[in-house]
Amino acid sequence: MVATDGPHIVRLGVEDAAAGLVLSTEAHWNQTEEDWRIFLRDGVVLGIHDGARLVATAALLPYSGNNAWISMVLVTASHRRRGLATRLVDACLEAARKDRLTCWLDATPDGARVYGPLGFTPTSQLRRLKLLKSTSGSAQAPSAATLDALRARDRRATGLDRTALLSAFAQRPGSRIVTANGAIALVRDGRAACHIGPLFADHTAVALTLVDAIARSQDGPLLLDAVASQAAFLDGLTASGWTIERPFQRMRLGPATAMAEEMPFAVAGPEFG
């Protein structure tokens, strides 16, 4: 794909994963090179170069039922305020319109003010939480769960078939799917912190118990993207030492296409939904 004016927009390939990682690391995001490969392999990632250097990206990751997630909108510091992000998002939206996809994204407060005039409407809110140092040892490690169990619960909560995404997460070294008292969660390594999510449970208490068990069995910092409407869950996390880093506004462009049967406690991440 090439723009008619300004810097060329090109579609990136899997060989660009390392260059993408440079951009997300500069922004202090938690993605790994493996995360970039998911977008590059299963989605559409558009980029702008300055010479040989990748300076801006945006991604469109399709899901089932004519849905897609827009994310990885990144511009290196030296090239900001030139309209590069806007051009890349517009190109993603053009690609989505051709395939009649409903687009979703999780925006920062500043981003929400940009996406609103483009026609995106708010749906729900997230809170990114961090636990700097987990307490080790005293809690029993959570039991292992199957990918099929996680996939089924994820489909109930999102209305989407995300088998490819969850399978890619689960197959990585260091990833695990865990369960306790009916709660189930995916735990995977990130660039700077381990990420918990998605997380599903029938009750707040069992969701908190599972998070506590994960934290006590895991070394290093942890991240979790909680659904803001799960207020008791958020209160329980902050009471146990988690701190809220930032909010995200979930937004949708296009008709609702998926019916959710339950509300998750935590999502796979603002870049994945």
50: domain CATH number is 3.40.630.30
Answer whether residue 227 is part of any domain. Answer: yes
What is the pLDDT averaged over residues 6-20? Answer: 95
Residue 1 pLDDT level (bands cut at 50, 70, 90): very low
The answer to whether residues 138 and 216 touch, using CB atoms and an 8 Å cutoff, is yes
| Same domain, residue pair 76 and 163 | no
| Same domain, residue pair 248 and 157 | yes
244: domain CATH number is 3.40.630.90
Answer whether residue 44 is part of any domain. Answer: yes
Residue tagged 């051709």 (tokens): 98
The answer to whether residues 177 and 186 touch, using CB atoms and an 8 Å cutoff, is yes
**46 phi/psi in degrees, rounded to 5:** -105, 145
pLDDT of residue 3: 44
pLDDT digits (tens, 9 = 90+) for 79-131: 999 999 999 999 999 999 999 999 999 999 988 988 999 999 999 999 999 99
pLDDT of residue 240: 95
- Ordered alpha helix ranges (H), the chain: 17-26, 33-42, 84-98, 109-115, 147-158, 163-170, 204-216, 231-239
Query: Is residue 68 pLDDT above 90, yes or no?
Result: yes
- How many whole angstroms separate alpha carbon 150 and alpha carbon 148? 5
- What average pLDDT does the structure give for the chain? 93
- How many whole angstroms separate alpha carbon 239 and alpha carbon 108? 24
| Same domain, residue pair 135 and 56 | no
pLDDT of residue 211: 97
Is residue 62 reached through a cis peptide bond, with omega within 30 degrees of 0 on the bond before it? no
Residue 177 structural domain = 127-253
| Same domain, residue pair 84 and 135 | no
Answer whether residue 23 is part of any domain. Answer: yes
Category of 2 on φ-ψ map: left (φ > 0), alpha (ψ -120 to 50) or beta? beta
The answer to whether residues 104 and 53 touch, using CB atoms and an 8 Å cutoff, is no
Answer whether residue 140 is part of any domain. Answer: yes
| Same domain, residue pair 149 and 246 | yes
What is the pLDDT averaged over residues 170-175? Answer: 94
Short-list 118, 260, 246, 264, CA closest to 186:
264
pTM of the predicted model as reported, rounded to 2 decimal places:
0.92
What is the pLDDT averaged over residues 231-259? Answer: 94
Residue 145 has, within 13 A of its CA and on its CB side, a CA count of: 23
Choice between 110 and 169, residue whose per-residue pLDDT is larger: 169
Residue 13 pLDDT level (bands cut at 50, 70, 90): very high
pLDDT of residue 261: 83
Residue 219 pLDDT level (bands cut at 50, 70, 90): confident
Q: CA–CA distance from 106 to each of 35, 128, 250, 259, 268 (Å)?
A: 17, 11, 4, 19, 12
pLDDT of residue 2: 42
| Same domain, residue pair 66 and 143 | no
Q: Which residues pair with 199 in a beta bridge?
A: 185, 266
Query: Is residue 35 pLDDT above 90, yes or no?
Result: yes
What is the pLDDT averaged over residues 140-163? Answer: 91
pLDDT of residue 138: 52
Burial 186-196 (b: 16+ CB within 10 A, else e): bbbbbbbbbbb
State both tokens at 48: 């702008």
